[in-house]
Structure 1
Amino acid sequence: MQHFSASPREIVGSLWRNRQLILTLIKHEVLGNFNGSIIGVLWSFITPTIMLAVYIFVFSGIFKARWNSESTSMSEFGMVLFVGLIIFNIFAECLNKGPTLILAHVNYVKKVVFPLEVLPWVSLGGALFRAVVSITVWLTAYVILFGLPHLTVLLLPFVVLPLLLLIMGLTWFLASLGVYLRNITQFVALVTTVTMFLSPIFYPANALPERFKILLLLNPLTSIIEGGRDVLFWGVVPDLQFLAIYFVVSLFIVWLGFAWFQKTRKGFADVL
């Protein structure tokens, strides 16, 4: 029986060895969404542009919503809300796909020698492509509405990196679990929906009553969403010490998820 290494080194090794395959699959995954479309990949820009315009119009124009009592711009609520949604959508897209990653590629398991561990990278790559497009739209809107963005925008990759590692660990775990427990898909969809409303996306973190703030503290999205807003909209440097701790914890989780996947993949062919 083939041995699959579960060492932390193999995470980087597999990523490097299969980098061309991963890039090709990401390209196929992104472009596959636009097959048959007249304007093709431009749809990836049109959709977030329309959604951002809707958020600004509805929340700021109709409901006259303000993110906090000091807000002066009518466009602020929609812009701040959209940042939270961009970060949440990366998390939700990868986790919702996780349980079906192997099930959707049964031929890779049974008929060919294929590095199954790259599939979560492909899922994350597609989600990141859509996030980058959305951030580009957001920055364009920011320039139009407020002027040049803050230099802290350059810190966004460092803010999001710990969450991306956490997502990879969870996706490897769910991809394996989905082979053995087919009903896990519905459970994960429910959890991501609940997580959306327990994250400071539609409201600032300080708006939650004190007795419920523990829910925000336990939510891995809270600090990343708040940090994303800090660097993109408010021009504030986030808590780098906390991000460093988050990064270390995420490294441990990504290794656990990868190790679980490597140890359990031997049984995929038998179950499928």
Structure 2
Amino acid sequence: MSSTNVKDLVFQIAKRNIYLKYKGSILGVFWSFLNPLFLLAVYTFIFGFAFKTKWGGESLASYPIILFSGLIFHFFIIELLSSSSQLISGNANYVKKVVFPLEVLVISNFLSQIFNLLIGAALLSIAVLVTGGNIFKVIFALVIVLPPFMILTLGISYLFSSLGAFIKDITHVVNLASTLFLFVSPILFPMSVFPDVVKWIVYLNPVSLVVIEYRAIAFHVESFSVYGYAAYCTAAFVIFLLGRWVFNRLSRGFADVV
């Protein structure tokens, strides 16, 4: 299969995934806007108004936007891990085709999840614009942090797709870990609130550093670390290569377990 045909196939399956997700619903793709807005409202009420949470010296009104800037990355990676862990078993008709390139499934699923991330980023940009913030910094921050984050999460998607074919419990583990990922990260609170003894655990969360660096550039509520960013980029490439290698090795047995 030529590279052009593979590219077309990736985009066709990605569009199909987005269509199937909202097929039959009245609001359709509009749910991609409603879901993050609803969760944002809930977290804003609980932490912003009930507990009067502020982000450092920032005003109470700025908390929802800063919070949402972290939630969009959290929502993305949880959805990606959940869909990746069921990817092979849910596409048995493709897996059992001898000539079908199985990497297409991983990449197309990844692109369909990126679609939701970009919708969240668009909502964030609109909120910043409406509240009089600097939208250029918000967009620039996304340009800086998104490439290594995409490489990292694509590598993780390869890993979860290949392991999920053999270990069905991974899907349930992801569902249980989604709340833990949220609280063991600098999404709801600044990194400074975590004791030094547990900060290394927080940094193991794949969204922690990208959220810190993003907010450092966009809102100046965290400190941007060049060394941290360089380490993140390096780790992203390593995990990507590892994930793809594992996927290619294990893909030989996918047809036997689906």
Normalising to structure 1: TM-score of the pair?
A: 0.84
In the other structure, the counterpart of 2:66 is 80
CA distance in 2, matches of 1:192, 1:85: 12
Q: What amino acid is aligned across from residue 145 of structure 1 in structure 2?
A: T
Aligned residue among 111, 133, 154 for 2:119: 133
CA distance in 1, matches of 2:209, 2:238: 18
Q: What are the Cα deviations for residues 49-70 of structure 1, in whole angstroms up to 9, with x where unaligned?
A: 34434444554344432122x1
Aligned residue among 194, 208, 228 for 1:222: 208
1:152–1:231 Cα contact (<8 Å) kept: yes
How far does residue 218 in structure 1 lie from its aligned partner after superposition? 3.1
How far does residue 133 in structure 1 lie from its aligned partner after superposition? 0.8
Whether 2:188 is the aligned partner of 1:194: answer: no
CA distance in 2, matches of 1:156, 1:237: 16
How far does residue 198 in structure 1 lie from its aligned partner after superposition? 0.8
| SS of corresponding position for 1:146 | coil
> How many residue pairs were aligned?
258
Whether 2:85 is the aligned partner of 1:66: answer: no
Q: Which runs of 5+ in 2 are unaligned?
A: none
CA distance in 1, matches of 2:44, 2:207: 23
Q: What are the Cα deviations for residues 114-148 of structure 1, in whole angstroms up to 9, with x where unaligned?
A: 21112221222122111111111111111112344
Q: CA RMSD in A?
A: 2.6
1:156–1:231 Cα contact (<8 Å) kept: no
1:155–1:231 Cα contact (<8 Å) kept: yes
How far does residue 41 in structure 1 lie from its aligned partner after superposition? 2.2
2:125–2:138 Cα contact (<8 Å) kept: no
Normalising to structure 2: TM-score of the pair?
A: 0.88
Please say which of residues 48-57 and 207-216 is displaced more in the overlay: 48-57
CA distance in 2, matches of 1:256, 1:35: 35
CA distance in 2, matches of 1:144, 1:197: 29
Q: What amino acid is aligned across from residue 185 of structure 1 in structure 2?
A: T
Q: What are the Cα deviations for residues 222-270 of structure 1, in whole angstroms up to 9, with x where unaligned?
A: 1111112223333888334432332122112111111111111111122
| SS of corresponding position for 2:22 | coil
1:195–1:219 Cα contact (<8 Å) kept: yes
In the other structure, the counterpart of 1:7 is none
CA distance in 1, matches of 2:183, 2:245: 31
How far does residue 100 in structure 1 lie from its aligned partner after superposition? 1.1
Q: What amino acid is aligned across from residue 151 of structure 2 in structure 1?
A: L
Seen in structure 2, the aligned counterparts of structure 1 residues 237 and 218 have a Cα distance that, compared at 3 Å, is closer
CA distance in 2, matches of 1:261, 1:34: 29
Percent of aligned positions that are identical: 32
Q: What are the Cα deviations for residues 141-169 of structure 1, in whole angstroms up to 9, with x where unaligned?
A: 11112344243532313212222212211
2:13–2:108 Cα contact (<8 Å) kept: yes
In the other structure, the counterpart of 2:14 is 26
CA distance in 1, matches of 2:209, 2:108: 25
Q: What are the Cα deviations for residues 96-129 of structure 1, in whole angstroms up to 9, with x where unaligned?
A: 2222110000111124632111222122212211
2:185–2:203 Cα contact (<8 Å) kept: no
CA distance in 1, matches of 2:6, 2:209: 32
In the other structure, the counterpart of 1:43 is 31
CA distance in 2, matches of 1:267, 1:206: 46
Seen in structure 2, the aligned counterparts of structure 1 residues 43 and 152 have a Cα distance that, compared at 3 Å, is closer
Seen in structure 2, the aligned counterparts of structure 1 residues 151 and 183 have a Cα distance that, compared at 3 Å, is closer
Q: What are the Cα deviations for residues 65-112 of structure 1, in whole angstroms up to 9, with x where unaligned?
A: 2122x12x3221211111111111221111122221100001111246
1:150–1:235 Cα contact (<8 Å) kept: no
